[in-house]
Amino acid sequence: MDIGIFGATGTIGRTVVAEARSRGHRVTACTRSRSRVPAEVEGVTWKVADPTDPVGVAQAITGLDVVVNAINAGESIPDQIANAGVLPAAAAVLLKALEQRPSTRLIVVGGGGSLEIEPGVRLIDTGAAFDRILTDVLEVPVEYRKVVQAQVDVLDLCRLSNRNWTYISPSAGRIDSGERTGRYRIGGDQVIPDREGGGSICAEDIAAALLDEIEIPRHIQRRFTVGY
C-alpha cells in the first residue's frame, strides 16, 4: 500500500515510518521543516508539507491509500501548549482534503484524555483527578490540558465527518520509545484496565497496532484504544 504520514519526524511518526517500511509498504513521509528530513531511506519519499495548508495537504496525499495523522503541536511541552490549536486545525484540513478522495483512509494518532473511566465520564472530565494524571503520570504542567482538549476536538471532528477515518488512543500513560513486542491489548472508548506492566504502551507497539489496523481494518469510523 501507499501510506502517507504527517508528523513523520515525531516520536510516534518515526516508528510508523519504520514499521510501514518493515512490512514492505511504500511510504510518503511529511514534515513541516526541510531541516528535519533525515538521510535518504530506501522506500521512503520525503515531502515538506504544512498540515494546516489545504493546497499543500491536497498535493501531499495524492495517490495515497492511507494517510496517518501523527502530528504534534511542537517539539517542547511549552510549544505544544502554546500551539495546541494546530491539532484540530490540521485535522479539519485533512478531512476536507479527503472529500476528494473518499476511498483513502485516515488514521489519527490521538490522545487518551477522551477515554471513559465509566460510561459517560471521560478522563478529561474528572477535574483534579485528571490534573494529577497530568502532573504525576505524564509529568507535564496542568496547562497541558489545552493539548488534551485539542485532541478531544480532533476526535469530535472525525465523528462529525463521513470520511473513512480511524482514531487510535494510546491508553493512559507516557508515550516513549521502547522495545517493540508486537503484543498489545485493544479496547474501545474505555481506558484499558491496568495489569502487570500497566496500561501504557511504547511508540513502537503503537506503530505495530496502527499498521495492523491498516492491513486488517476493524475500526472504520471508530476510535479504539491500545495498551499493554
Q: Which helix (H) or strand (E) holds 225?
A: strand 222-227
Q: How many domains does the chain have?
A: 1
Contacts of 52 (CB under 8 A, 6+ apart): 86, 89, 90, 93
State if pTM tops 0.95. Answer: no
Residue 187: give its domain's CATH number.
3.40.50.720
Q: In the prediction, which pLDDT does 177 show?
A: 87
Q: In the prediction, which pLDDT does 122 show?
A: 94
14-51: burial string, b at 16+ Cβ within 10 Å, e else = bbbbbbbbeeebbbbbbbbeeeebeeeeeebebbebbb
Angle between helices 203-215 and 11-22 (to 10 degrees): 50
Domain that holds residue 214: 2-227
Q: In the prediction, which pLDDT does 146 show?
A: 97
Q: In the prediction, which pLDDT does 33 show?
A: 78
Q: In the prediction, which pLDDT does 104 show?
A: 96
Q: In the prediction, which pLDDT does 28 show?
A: 96
pLDDT in tens, the chain (228 residues): 999 999 999 999 999 999 999 999 999 999 987 777 777 667 799 999 999 999 999 999 999 999 999 999 998 999 999 999 999 999 999 999 999 999 999 999 999 999 999 899 999 999 999 999 899 888 999 999 999 999 999 999 999 999 999 999 998 667 888 899 999 999 999 988 776 545 578 999 999 999 999 999 999 999 999 998
